[in-house]
Amino acid sequence: MARRRQENRISRRRAERQRRAARLRTAAAAAATVAALALVVGLVYASVTSAPWRLGGYTVQGTAYLTAPEVLEAAGFETGDNLFWIDPGRIERNLCRHPRIKRAEVRRRLPAEIVITVEERSAAAALILNGELYKISADGVLLEPMTAGYEDLPLLAGVTYRARGDVLGKRVDRGEVREGLTALTALTQMDPAWGAAVEYVDLAEQEVVLAAGRYGIRYGPAFDEHTARRLRRVYEATRDRGPGAVTYDARFGTDVIVTGGSAGGGGDAGGDATDEREV
């Protein structure tokens, strides 16, 4: 009996040593795996943070108004940033906060370059806001003041506007502004020469005035490029009505009503803005 108890104790000790050895082997294998992963992560980190992956240049495409340094400033990154840590989506959102940038696409070009492609907003007209002239795009976004770079633009007259705070990049969603810009854009797309001849747009009277008051085009909410083409056909048929001012009223569906053409001077080119509204 005593001998059997001794054999059992020996057997239990042997089993315990085997279990302890197995745990040690498992721990050693786990430690080796962790060390290997740490080494791999360290190598990857060292690789992506090394000089070959640091942003060394950029290419800007699609600009006509903005300069490449201005686009870079709006993007919010700098040369020397790590190429793999740059978030293209964040950069695109930064860029689209600039009033002049309508859309932006950012992509990496290995080993160390960012390519930025933008679609700019061009100025379509000038608007009187807070007593100053501001450029405004065809989709109603306020750009910079006219003093920040001259552009030959027609004036949105008949109404002045006021606004609080920072106005750059603000979208003017007033109906009369939207309709005036739509009519102006439709005329320009139909014939760039007509767009170049526009003197001003009277928002209060819903009239586009061209050629120093020689022609006036009355528009409504439905004025579009199809209306502009129909207007052009009527103009070609009635252009010999005499030296006086001629008005084309295109507010009545498919009909264009033509008045004027008798001898006399043209209209006033630059209508005084008397009404003031908040945007």
* The CATH number of domain 52-120, selected from 3.40.710.10, 3.30.565.10, 3.10.20.310, 3.40.190.10: 3.10.20.310
Region 237-250 average pLDDT: 83
Residue 97, helix vs strand vs coil: coil
Tokens at residue 277, please? 């509204």
pTM of the model: 0.74
Question: Which fold, 123-278?
Answer: Rossmann fold (3.40.50)
What type of residue is 78? Answer: E
Start and end residues for every CATH 3.10.20.310 domain found in the chain: 52-120
Start and end residues for every CATH 3.40.50 domain found in the chain: 123-278
Tokens at residue 161, please? 């506007």
Q: Which residues contact 276 (CB under 8 A, 6 or more apart)?
A: 159, 160, 161, 162
Q: Which of 263, 270, 256 is nearest to 218 (CA)?
A: 256
Residue 276, helix vs strand vs coil: strand
Portion of the chain with pLDDT greater than 70, in percent: 72
pLDDT tens column, 24-81: 566 556 655 655 564 444 434 444 445 555 666 778 999 999 999 999 899 887 666 6
Q: Centre a 10 Å sphere on the Cβ of residue 191 and count the other Cβ atoms it contains.
A: 15
pLDDT tens column, 246-273: 999 999 877 899 998 764 444 443 444 4
Give strand ranges (E) for 101-188: 101-109, 113-120, 123-129, 132-137, 142-145, 155-162
